[in-house]
Structure 1
Amino acid sequence: MKFRLNNQDLFIPDHEAEANALERTTHLGVGAHQDDLEFMALHGILECFQRADQWFGGVTCTDGGGSARSGPYANYTDSEMKRVRVHEQKVAATIGQYSFMAQLGHPSTTAKAPTQRQPLVDDLETLLLFTRPQAVYTHQPFDKHATHIGVLIALLEAIRRLPQNERPQQLFGCEVWRGLDWLPDHLKVIQPVDAHPNLAAALAGVFDSQIAGGKRYDLAVEGRHCANATYFDSHSVDACQRAAYAIDLTPLIQDDTLTVEVFISEILEQFTDEVTSLLGQITH
């Protein structure tokens, strides 16, 4: 497989032939940075873990050079940090038994700048053509990280290049830099992530360059999943112990005329209506 940049890395943990590793993929995660997949697409990873009929494929779009660092990593150069993060992502792919792990190596500016995004779109289109996944996990449109939004836009463009009958059946927008607990309940896609808690902890703990480097993502993600499960419904017992929330972005790949701006505006209107309606019932 040919990607646009020379620094790309395609890793197949079980050493399966490249074509087979790509073709057997049923669940695909497309994240901006190393560790995004393990935090936002854990549901897909768990769905496929130790399964012969379902396989999770991972895609990290950017090179990881701009990450925060302190402690033992405080003096690492961008080049050194990139190498560490690529290695950590490959370790996570091995632990999670991914079908493959593609690290595309684009700088963050490629995702964020519309005039520079096409090489990333081309790479994502290539991967989609080879994998033909049933379900895709990516960043949600209310995320506050610009690179995450850029990856979402690039992925949507890549999917929309495909004929309708060759597109994924489902596209999920997942939590990283903003939770989705505020969504009206009928819009929440609740993804239980109870299974294999030891695996979830191991995957989050792989990224020492971030954890020891000053960001306790491992604790934050665990806390979010526990909170989601408990705070979903005040009048019933918890249906699961840990849950990820997602938003169904499938309408955006079924209707090419639907813009992300219109899509999110309609959701924000529903949120406003829900809040003001409840307030009105209590105050009047």
Structure 2
Amino acid sequence: MKFSQPAADVLVPDRRPLAAALARTTHLCLAAHQDDIEIMAYHGIATCHGRKDRGFTGVVVTDGAGSPRTGRFANYTDEQMKTVRRDEQRRAARLGKYAAVIQLAHPSQVVKDAKDDRVRTELAAILRAAAAEVVYLHNPADKHDTHVAVFLRCLEALRSLPKSRRPKQVLGCEVWRNLDWLVDADKVLLDDSPRPALAAKLIGAFQSQIAGGKRYDRAIAGRRLANATFHTSHATDAAQAVTWAMDLTPLIHDDQLSVEQFTLAHLDRLRADITARLRHFKI
């Protein structure tokens, strides 16, 4: 499998051929940046960890050049940061025992250009080779521009596949906008409770972000715990850590379904829920 960017990087931790690693991939995450995989798709990592009948593969679309930096990384150039973040992602893949991690190394502006077909073409090739049952994406209501652009390129790639080759489930996960605002019927609960030490190590692999001024190690653990606790008011916690996801599967069942209409319908249901509750208890 060939990729267009010279800096594209492939790691198969158990040193099998990439084709074999993708063939055993049952859970696949397509993410924008290094560390997004570990934030949004820990459910898939934990599900596959140590299993011979399951495999997790992560794909990072961009090159990691634009990250904020302070402390010992304050004077790192973009080129230096790209190298550091690539190596951190490789370390996380080894810790998580991924089937593979593929870093496509595209600049963000390439991903945002809908007329440039390199990203969608490469993603489609990976999707065809992996034939995963579950695919984790960014959600279309995310507030990070690059995340939304990556989501759209992923959707285009998925829709380019024959319907018989599309995954059984596609999930849009929270990263730069929490999904606790979804009405309960629209929430997909990803139980991140298993192997908490592994979850911490995976986030901790990205020291360029943590020491560089972004405490993702604390923030992600806190959000997962908050999601678990505030899920329901009249029952004890059923999980210790939860990531919320949006079920995007309808978007790959119906190629004509508008992404905007699909996404805004979630807001309409939230509006209706709030309205009904207020009207029920008003004087």
Would you say same fold, with TM above 0.5? Answer: yes
Structure 2 residue identity aligned to 1:196? R
Q: Which residue of 2 aligns with 1:208?
A: 207
- Partner Cα separation in structure 1 for residue 12 and residue 261 of structure 2: 39
Aligned to 1:257: 256
Deviation at 1:139, TM superposition (A): 0.3
Matched residue count: 283
Match of 1:122 in 2: 121
Pairing of 1:11-26 with structure 2 (within 5 A)? 11-26=11-26
- By how many angstroms is 1:82 displaced? 0.1
Residue of structure 2 equivalent to 1:41: 41
Take 1:67 and 1:100, find their aligned partners in 2: how far apart are those partners? 24
Matched AA of 2:174? E
CA offset digits 1:171-214 (Å, max 9, x no partner): 00001001011100011001111100000000000000000000
TM-score w.r.t. length of structure 2: 0.99
Q: CA deviation at 1:237?
A: 0.6
What is the identity, as a one-letter code, of the residue corresponding to 2:11? F
| Matching of residue 147 in structure 1 with residue 183 in structure 2 | no
Q: CA deviation at 1:265?
A: 1.7
- Aligned residue number for residue 105 of structure 1: 105
Cα displacement string for residues 117-169 of structure 1 (whole angstroms, at most 9, x for unaligned residues): x1100110110111111100010111000000001000000011111000111
Partner of 2:75: 75
Q: Provide the residue aligned with 2:157 in structure 1.
A: 158
Q: Secondary structure at the match of 2:22?
A: helix
Partners of 1:241 and 1:121 in 2: CA distance: 36
Distance 1:78 1:253 in 2: 36
Which residue of structure 2 lines up, in the alignment, with residue 243 of structure 1?
242
What is the rounded CA distance, in whole Å, between the counterparts of 2:112 and 2:5 in structure 1?
17
1:230 positional shift: 0.3
Whole-Å separation in 1 of the counterparts to 2:207 and 2:264: 38
Question: Counterparts of 1:188 and 1:2 in 2: how far apart (Å)?
Answer: 37
Unmatched segments (≥5 aa) in structure 1:
none
Which secondary structure state, in structure 1, belongs to the residue aligned with residue 101 of structure 2? strand
The aligned counterpart of 1:53 is 53
The residue type paired with residue 153 of structure 1 is L
Aligned to 2:84: 84
Which amino acid in structure 1 is aligned with residue 54 of structure 2? Answer: Q
- For 1:154 and 1:142, the matched residues in 2 are separated by 15
What secondary structure does 1:115 align onto?
Answer: coil
The residue aligned with 1:167 is: 166
**Where does structure 1 differ by over 6 angstroms across 4 or more consecutive aligned residues?**
none
CA distance in 1, matches of 2:44, 2:90: 17
Percentage of pairs with the same residue: 49
Question: 2:137 is matched with which residue?
Answer: 138
The AA in structure 2 aligned to 1:114 is: A
User: Separation in 2 of the partners of 1:277 and 1:68?
Assistant: 43
Report the AA paired with residue 236 of structure 1: A
Whole-Å separation in 2 of the counterparts to 1:152 and 1:237: 34
The answer to whether 1:280 aligns with 2:279 is yes
Supply the AA of the counterpart residue of 1:66.
G
What is the identity, as a one-letter code, of the residue corresponding to 1:75?
Answer: N
- CA displacement at 1:115 relative to structure 2: 2.6
In structure 1, the partner of 2:216 is 217
AA of the residue aligned to 2:274 = V
Question: RMSD between aligned alpha carbons?
Answer: 0.7
Report the TM-score, using the length of structure 1 for normalisation: 0.98
